[in-house]
Amino acid sequence: MNEAPQNILVINGGSSSIKFALYSASQHLHTTVRGQIERIGMSEAMFSVQGSDHHETFTRQVDAHNYAGAVALLMDWILARQKNDGGLIAVGHRIVHGGSQYVEPQRLTPPMLDELRKLTALAPAHLPHEIQLLEAIQKRYPLLPQVVCFDTAFHHDLPDVARRIAIPRRYSDKGVRRYGFHGLSYQFLMDELHGIDSATAQGRIVLIHLGNGVSLAAVRDGKSIDTSMGFTPISGVMMGSRSGDVDPGLVGFLARTEGIDAEQFDVMVNSRSGLLGVSETSADMRELLAHENEDHRAAEAIALFCYQIKKCIGSFAAALGGLDLLVFTGGMGEKSPVVRARICEGLGFLGIQLDATRNESNAAVISADAAAATVKVRVIPANEEIVIARAVCRIVGVPEG
């Protein structure tokens, strides 16, 4: 008699969207469908699914006035396909911030939910929405296990010299420190590297996550020793619409000259800066590249973006005491040869040299074979969801197959 399939729902909640993937844990852990609900809380919310065949692939307009409504739509759709695929055994969530106390994936409990509410000041643009998702699923399915995976966990044991912020020490005691983010993406890269080349995975590595959000991590002996993002995901190098690091004196200057308060400043550096702010046209690198020859603002935004990442690679090579491997991931990291090339240009002194043909074809290894190219450069597609699904299997006691 065949066992009933066991499904795991993986959710990544954003400020106005829910991205999800449904995994089957039968035989071996694999994705059955992916999808998203976008424009939550707005008119014309959209529900889209990419299934294994055309019967389960669709995009349609829905009413999703809030997260509870979006969760109801998603769960109703999953329940409607139970006859073929069996029921859910658990839900896994990406949670952007675990503070200092949460450093491993854990099953959600009422005390943990209370603690997460206390952490919302650390990530006000993300945690409140993620908590709403947890609460909506808990209210509808109180017995369904929920597992939370923290994006800060990968960097939890940063050395003190990389973790500490140079402000009065009393704030450190209140949890003000550099946390780092994109941890689930980095954990996936390290898991992949251990399977590809375990010896190199223990070496000196710089990981680069290039999406709308951008960060870098310096890894040695399999552990994060530094990362570009710090106390919040706004910091580090410039991103699609986030500023990255800015002079703290800018807060006071804009308050005095423009009347901008703390909340307005936060909105500006979060959603109106980065590529969007410098170009004044778009946060999308593809659009900027298409117009850089006739729009100097687009060209300047691209140049600044690549320059900041190049500088960060150099500083992390110094922190690591050398470099053995450079890894690109994320949408831009995987699909933009020109961005990778511009970032790596001029880094030959570190042993970084790309093979133009391999880079243009988005090959798995894009570094040259030349003797001077001592640093291997890889491209690895991101897959944060599988890290969450694996954690759910461990915690609820389901074999991955």
Cα distances (angstroms) measured from residue 376 to each of 106, 212, 344, 352, 365: 35, 25, 12, 7, 7
How far is 230 from 120, CA to CA, in rounded Å? 16
Any idea which residue has 């409990």 for tokens? 109
- Candidate list 53, 76, 85, 151, residue with the active-site label: 151
Any idea which residue has 């597609």 for tokens? 381
**What is the longest distance spanned by two Cα atoms in the chain?**
74
Catalytic annotation on 114? no
Cα distances (angstroms) measured from residue 1 to each of 4, 378: 9, 45
Amino acid symbol at 112: M
Cα distances (angstroms) measured from residue 12 to each of 144, 149, 152: 18, 10, 15
Q: Helices 127-140 & 67-80, crossing angle to 10 degrees?
A: 50
Cβ-count burial 201-218 (b if 16+ within 10 Å, e if not) = bbbbbbbbbbbbbbbbbb
Question: Which sequence positions are flagged as catalytic?
Answer: 151
